A and B are shown apart, each in its own frame.
Chain A
Amino acid sequence: MDGILDWGILDWKIRNPEIRNPKSEIEVIMAVKDYIRKRFFPHMWCPGCGHGIVLNSLLRAVEQLGMRKNEIVMVSGIGCSSRISGYVDFHTLHTIHGRALAFATGVKMSRPELNLIVPMGDGDALSIGGNHFIHAARRNINITAVVMNNRIYGMTGGQYSPLSGFGTLATTAPYTNIDQDFDVAELSQAAGASFVARTTTYHVKQVIDLLKQAIQHKGFSVVEVLSQCPTYFGRKNKIGDAVEMMEHFKENTTPKGSKAKKENPDLIERGIFVQKDIPEYCAEYSKIIEKVSG
């Protein structure tokens, strides 16, 4: 139990009185603890890391959906974010850097009744794993991809990622980054994902809500969660500690289609970008089996 107490979310809630509610906190801990592997705590994340908030939100989403642990397979790659799979009491497959979606495709296709959740870092999903990402989206295979976007390679110590963005600093961009970044939501849509959403670790309720919708969606779903890496991105770019980074998320994002966005186009939109019903890969393959077998 000790480890749970240093999950970023609790820390943050206590410092953010607007959503502070000690009673429900206790309830949350009780509900969520059934989904974790206590044996593997304390976790390896730095204090204030946003990845713990994503873990907590994910467990709450699963709990609120009433899912059974045996029907969930979590597949992850390599990175601080990918360590999430060690802590949850599902079937967990911690793979190699960038290839989580390829492994997940094999799991899903061979047993379509299982629910596949694939948390990935920004580098994991979109640099080394970019090809698998667009192809999983194109196939519209029923997998939920969670991009834990901290705009940095956390695990290897703060190098720039394809999501760091022009003008940022990183240990491998000491004079300023000249790499342009991807827009995960646009990229996912263009690649064919049938559910695409974005939010931030500041907006915990929205993280839970979007994850629930994504998991229930029949098709390839992407939820991008802007997550803070105070240790590297925050420090290198002088944004401050975890709380200041989250305040930054609050100030620099706006609900999709809001008036604020029209007035200030630099704001990052949060919400659902795509939600459509198109043929799902495993279901289509089942039709082929039905047609040619027997």
Chain B
Amino acid sequence: MGKKIKFIQGNEVVVEAALYAGLDFYAGYPITPSTEIAEHMSVRLPKIGGKFIQMEDELASLCAIIGASLTGHKVMTATSGPGFSLMQESLGYAIMAEIPCVIVNVQRGGPSTGLPTSVAQGDVGQALWGTHGDHAIVAMTASNHQDMFSVTVDAFNIAETYRTPVILLFDEVVGHMRERIFMPEPGEIPLMERLRTSIKEGIDYHPYLPREDGRLPMSDFGGVHRYNVTGLAHDMWGFPSNNPKVVHGLLRHLIDKINNNANQLLRYKEYYLEDARTVLISYGASARSALHVVESRRRRRGERIGLLELQTLWPFPFSIVRQKCANAKYVVVVEMNMGQLLQPVRMAIDPPEKVYLANRIDGVFITPTDIRSVLRLIQGKGM
């Protein structure tokens, strides 16, 4: 762990981590509670020769970073719910055209303009199915600044490795809170650089022909290989095709490259799960309260209770959830929405009836007391 300690806001951590990962192009549009990311980027990027641009809206922001990614840059945009909604069409484009990019959504209360300055985790489902058509997506989150840093670096690594957009689903609490962070030293977290083709000029390069390992080496726009990039279903040259075999192969590739690598994409933390009869499953800011409950109950009454904190939300880690909850009598999903992660957890666990929800949807941060009252009800100890 780095020696340099900082006491900064979560949104600033995202900026530091992105720069650490090699980001040098950022486009965005201001929106609470993500705006500080754009502000810090506008200060930092030109100092290192990178580029910052404030676009006319979020539609344009995601389009611009896709364009910049194609010229060989590591790119990111950040927004919150309303902006993330606007980005859905180009998110699908990035999936279809396999463009590495990172999209941060610092969640606030919705739907619509909702609660601009309040916390929520209501965009979890949208991150997966917000854009139209069949696809797979990577979405990650974190509950504290140290983890925000490493998850953000991971997001860039994953985007480059799998040629995919990666969504970082933070929330208003972690984004705005200040806490201590040990800044990793250069080289401390491994970085993935873009896989570029070794095919020489004049030899036919197939931008959309996966190698045996499923990866597709890229060639920067402006380089020696000229090819077509499109959001239409396309063949190995990137040229539009509606040949059923080509289309089937493309869709399978887009989905398999993520879902078949779910283990590589999986990030989670566990606390006291060895003997836990009650397992809390949580993520993001909610996991802070969940951990507090777990630790105080173990300390005060020796209760066998533990926490599974998910950092990778999509692809959903079915097997790890199933495995970690195998001996649990109760499983309680703690989140700030009406149960968006409760659904897949119930699918993972047999019988689903032992999975409960402890939530809050009023813009107020879920507290240990909120979780405790749900636990008392479930465990039959009254209020």
Contact = CB atoms under 8 A, between A and B. Distances in A.
A96 B226 contact: no
B156 interface: no
A264 interface: no
B239 A86 contact: yes
B46 interface: yes
B14 to A, nearest CB: 20
A110 B47 contact: no
B275 interface: no
A289 B43 CA distance: 11
A151 interface: no
Interface stretch (B49-57, B316-324, B341-349, B373-381): B49-57
A75 B226 contact: no
B46 A109 contact: no
Interface in B206-235: 221-224, 226-232
Contacts of B93: 95-96
Interface stretch (B60-68, B120-128, B191-199): B60-68
SS class, residues of chain A in contact with chain B: helix
Of A69, A71, A73, A103, most B-chain CB atoms within 10 Å: A103
Interface string B227-266: 1111110000101100000000000000000000000000
Contacts of B90: 96, 99
A110 B71 contact: yes
Interface residues of B, number: 43
A91 B56 contact: no
B48 interface: yes
Contact of A93 (B46, B61, B67): B67
Contact of B51 (A70, A93, A95, A110): A110
B226 A69 contact: yes
A40 interface: yes
Interface residues of A, number: 39
A243 interface: no
B60 A132 contact: yes
Contacts of A86: 228, 230, 239-240
A106 B65 CA distance: 6
Interface string A139-160: 0000000000000000000000
Interface of B: 25, 27, 46-49, 51, 53, 55-57, 59-61, 63-73, 75, 89-90, 93, 221-224, 226-232, 237, 239-240
Interface of A: 37, 39-40, 69-71, 73, 75, 85-86, 89-96, 99, 102-111, 113-114, 131-132, 135, 285, 288-289, 292-293
What are the 4 closest A-B residue pairs judged by CB atoms, nearest first?
A106-B67, A106-B64, A102-B63, A102-B60
